[in-house]
Amino acid sequence: MSRLWTGFRSVFADGMRAFLAYKRALGRHYRAEESALRLLDRFLVERRVSAVDDVTPSLIDDFLVSRPRPAPRSYNHLHGSLVRFFDWMIHQERLQRSPVRSKPRRGTRVRLPFLLDPAAARRLFDVAGRLPDNRSTTCRGSSFRTIFTLLYGLGLRVGEVSRLRVGDIDVTRQVLHIRNTKFAKSRLVPFGPRIGALLTTHLAQHPHRQSLSAEVPVFSRRNGRPISATTISLTFHQLVPQLDLAIPDGAVGPRVHDLRHAFATRTLLRWYRNGIDPRSRLSSLATFLGHVDPASTAVYLTMTPELLSHANERFRTWAELVLEEVPR
């Protein structure tokens, strides 16, 4: 049974509260980082550390060892949260030197996203549409078919779909209003007539359609609460075995977030096919996905064999033109 959280109580309590307030004032949620700081805070209280000078590099190493993190990525997130906190404390002149001396772990494996092709995506939509209602959710098939369509067809984040309200859908203008998402930003996401028809059909079957107000969740449970991002992810994993997917070498089974990767990669591939220079459009894609800069979007642009083929052909054409201009 987890212990009830009563607030930061260690020698760094004031600093931890101020650090989180500062980051959130910049528009960051910092929920995972707060969890890491809570763990450190509890560790320091349990060790009865009463002075800042007693927080030594060896004590921080003991803390990291006390939180087993077999995967480098998980360990590095915990390690990085401490580094950012103590660096901020130094910058604020609350601390003279960081007690974090250990290095992050080297990742031994890069997880490749699994990109569903359109045929596999259609199978996903079909099996989701056949989901039966259960004790917590009615219109389950319509809800999850629409949810996965938005994730794959518009590249939305799972949390963004979970938080959608009826008032966020403008069927006339064909746009979704994505509110207060990552980095506390909002944006408008246009959609086409097929997604518009799907949303209209879903709202007509909505479990609370008799009292639909602007604040009602688009994807709602019987109790009126939204279908959570965790439930969406779990449902996706339950449906994957029915999709008859061939997992390529170097990839693992798909995650629901891979639907967002697939959207970005398909967009880039469409540009190549239409002769559009991706560099001229990358900032537009970043805005559509809700990224603060195009560098963040580049993470999603997985190089598939088809993308590499188009890129190689473009380079070959460019190289031939250059060579023709070289004096012989």
Q: Tokens 């469409």 appear where?
A: 270
Q: Which of 32-46, 48-62, 265-279, 281-295 has the lowest mean pLDDT?
A: 281-295
pLDDT class of 227 with cuts at 50, 70, 90: very high
The stretch 154-159 carries a mean pLDDT of 92
Has 30 been annotated as catalytic? no
- Residue 273 annotated to the active site: no
For 21-55, what is each residue's pLDDT tens digit? Answer: 999 888 788 888 999 999 999 999 999 999 999 99
Give me the helices (H) in 100-165, please. Answer: 118-129, 140-154, 158-162
Pick from 54-68, 191-205, 275-289: least confident:
275-289
The reply to whether 300 belongs to the active site is yes
Strands of 169-170's sheet in order across: 169-170, 175-178, 187-190
| CB burial of residue 165 (10 Å; 0-12, 13-18, 19+) | middle
- Cα dihedral 292→301→104→291 (10° resolution): 10
Residue 210, burial from CB neighbour count under 10 angstroms (0-12, 13-18, 19+): exposed
* pTM: predicted TM-score of the whole model, two decimal places: 0.70
Q: Answer yes or no: are the C-beta atoms of 182 and 29 closer than 8 Å.
A: yes
Does the pLDDT of residue 316 top 60, yes or no? no
Task: Kindly name the residue from 79, 140, 202, 291 that is annotated as catalytic.
Answer: 291
185 classed as catalytic? no
CA distance 183 to 29: 7
Asked if 237 is an active-site residue, the reply is no
Show the CA angle centred on residue 82, arms to residues 77 and 85, nearest 5°: 120
Whether residue 322 has pLDDT greater than 50? no
